[in-house]
Amino acid sequence: MLDSLFNPESIAIIGASRTEGKLGHAILANVIDSKFAGPIYPINPTASEILGYEVYPTLADVPGPIGLAVIVIPAESVMQALADCAANDVGAVIVISAGFRETGREGLKLERQMAEIAEAHNMPIVGPNVLGVIDTIAPYNASFAVGMPSRGHIAFMSQSGALCTAVLDIALAQNIGFSRFVSLGNKAHLNEIDFLQSWADDEQSKVVMAYLEGIVDGERFIKEARQITKKKPVIAIKSGTTSGGSRAVSSHTGTLAGSERAYEAAFKQAGVLRADSISEMFDLAIAFARQPLPKGDRIAIITNAGGPGIMATDALEKSGLKLAGLNPEIQRKLKENLPAAASVLNPIDVLGDARSDRYKAVFQTVLSDENVDAVVVILTPQFTTEIEETARALADAFEAQPAASRKPVIACFMGEAHMHEARRLFYERNIPSYPIPERAAAAMKAMVAQASWMAKPLPEFEEFEVDRETVAKIFAQVRADDRVQIGDAESRDILVAYGIRIPKSQLCTTADEAATFAREIGYPVVMKIASPDILHKTDVGGVRVGLRDATDVRDAFDLMVYRAQKYQPNAQLWGCLVQEQAPDGKEVIVGMNRDPQFGPLVMFGLGGIYVEVLKDVAFRIAPFNREEAMVMMQEIRSFDLLRGVRGQPPADLDTVADTLLRLSQLVTDFPEIVELDINPLMIFERGQGVMGVDMRLVLKSE
Q: Judged by CB under 5 A, does residue 365 bind Mg ion?
A: no
Q: Rule CB under 6 A: is residue 503 a binding residue for ligand ADP?
A: yes
**Residue 515 to residue 494: CA distance in whole angstroms:** 26
**Contacted entry of Mg ion, ligand ADP, none for residue 493, CB cut-off 5 to 8 Å set by kind:** none
Is the CB of 281 or the CB of 678 nearer to ligand ADP?
678
Phi and psi of 547, rounded to 5°? -75, 130
How many residues touch ligand ADP (CB under 6 A)?
Answer: 17
Residue 528, binding choice from Mg ion, ligand ADP, none, Cβ under 5 to 8 Å by partner class: ligand ADP
Closest CA to 314 of 421, 441, 415: 441
Is 582 a binding residue for ligand ADP by CB under 6 A? The answer is: yes
Q: How big, in percent rounded to 5, are the helix, strand and coil portions of the chain?
A: 40, 20, 40
The span from the CA of 220 to the CA of 193, in Å, is 8
Closer residue to Mg ion (CB): 130 or 543: 543
- CB of 695 vs ligand ADP, minimal distance in Å: 9
What separation in angstroms does the CA of 697 have from each of 252, 258, 331, 613, 674? 11, 18, 61, 21, 8
Sheet with 125-126, side-by-side order of all strands: 40-43, 11-14, 68-71, 92-95, 125-126
Nearer to ligand ADP, 122 or 538 (CB): 538
Q: Is the dihedral angle over the CA atoms 653, 654, 655, 658 positive or is it negative?
A: positive
> Which listed residue (217, 388, 493, 587) binds ligand ADP by CB under 6 A?
587
Map the footprint of ligand ADP across residues 640-699, applying CB under 6 A.
680, 693-694
Q: Which residues pair with 507 in a beta bridge?
A: 577
Distance CA 341, CA 350 (A): 9
| Residues 6+ positions from 160 with CB-CB distance below 8 Å | 183, 211, 213
Binder among 194, 552, 652, 694 for Mg ion (CB under 5 A): 694
Phi (first) and psi of residue 12, to 5 degrees? -110, 140
356 makes contact with ligand ADP (CB under 6 A):
no
Using CB under 6 A, which of the segments 50-58, 142-150, 391-399, 535-543 binds ligand ADP? 535-543
Q: CA 447: distance to chain centroid?
A: 16
Q: Which lies closer to Mg ion via its Cβ, residue 272 or residue 603?
A: 603
Classify residue 465 by burial, with Cβ atoms within 10 Å: 0-12, 13-18, 19+: exposed
536 binds ligand ADP (CB under 6 A): yes
Closest to ligand ADP by CB, 234 vs 543, is 543
By beta-carbon proximity to ligand ADP, the closer residue of 213 and 587 is: 587
What Cα–Cα distance (Å) separates residue 547 from each residue in 11, 522, 527, 579? Answer: 81, 10, 8, 10
CA distances from 607 to 498, 665, 677, 683 (A): 21, 21, 10, 11
Say whether residue 543 binds ligand ADP (CB under 6 A). Answer: yes
Are the beta carbons of 125 and 150 closer than 8 angstroms? Answer: no
Measured from the Cβ of residue 625, the count of other Cβ atoms closer than 10 Å reads 17
Q: What is the enclosing helix (H) or strand (E) of 21? A: none
- List the x/- string, 596-615, binding to ligand ADP by CB under 6 A: ------------x-------
* Alpha-carbon span 240 to 208, nearest angstrom: 20
Nearer to Mg ion, 349 or 694 (CB): 694
Q: Which residues contact 176 (CB under 8 A, 6 or more apart)?
A: 149, 150, 152, 154, 170, 282, 285, 286
Provide, rounded to whole angstroms, the least separation between the CB of residue 478 and ligand ADP: 18
Can you say whether the dihedral through the CA atoms of 215, 218, 221, 222 is positive or negative? positive
Cα dihedral 279/281/285/286 (nearest 10)? 10
- Residue 537 sits in the site that holds ligand ADP (CB under 6 A): yes
Cβ proximity to ligand ADP: between 391 and 678 the closer is 678
Toward Mg ion, which CB reaches closer, 251 or 679? 679
Total interface residues for Mg ion by CB under 5 A = 2
Q: Tell me: does residue 579 bind ligand ADP (CB under 6 A).
A: yes
Contact partner at residue 11 from Mg ion, ligand ADP, none, CB < 5 to 8 Å by partner kind: none
Neighbours of 240 (CB within 10 A): 11
Residues within window 504-533 making contact with ligand ADP, judged by CB under 6 A: 526, 528
526 binds, among Mg ion, ligand ADP, none (CB under 5 to 8 A by kind): ligand ADP
What is the spatial distance between Cα 311 and Cα 332, in angstroms, rounded to a whole number? 26
- Shortest CB 609 distance to Mg ion, Å: 8
Q: Which of 400, 458, 476, 545 binds ligand ADP (CB under 6 A)?
A: 545
Residue of minimal Cβ distance to Mg ion: 694
545 contact, one of ligand ADP, Mg ion, none, CB 5-8 Å limit per kind:
ligand ADP
Among 679, 681, 682, 689, the residue binding Mg ion under the rule CB under 5 A is 679
CA 101: distance to chain centroid? 26
253 binds Mg ion (CB under 5 A): no
Considering only the stretches 195-203, 263-271, 511-519, 579-587, report the one whose residues sit in contact with ligand ADP under the rule CB under 6 A. 579-587
CB closer to ligand ADP out of 400 and 545: 545
Q: Which does 194 bind (CB under 5 to 8 A by kind): ligand ADP, Mg ion, none?
A: none
Q: Which does 676 bind (CB under 5 to 8 A by kind): Mg ion, ligand ADP, none?
A: none
Query: Could you list the residues that contact Mg ion (CB under 5 A)?
Result: 679, 694
Query: Could you list the residues that contact ligand ADP (CB under 6 A)?
Result: 488, 503, 526, 528, 536-538, 543, 545, 579, 581-582, 587, 608, 680, 693-694
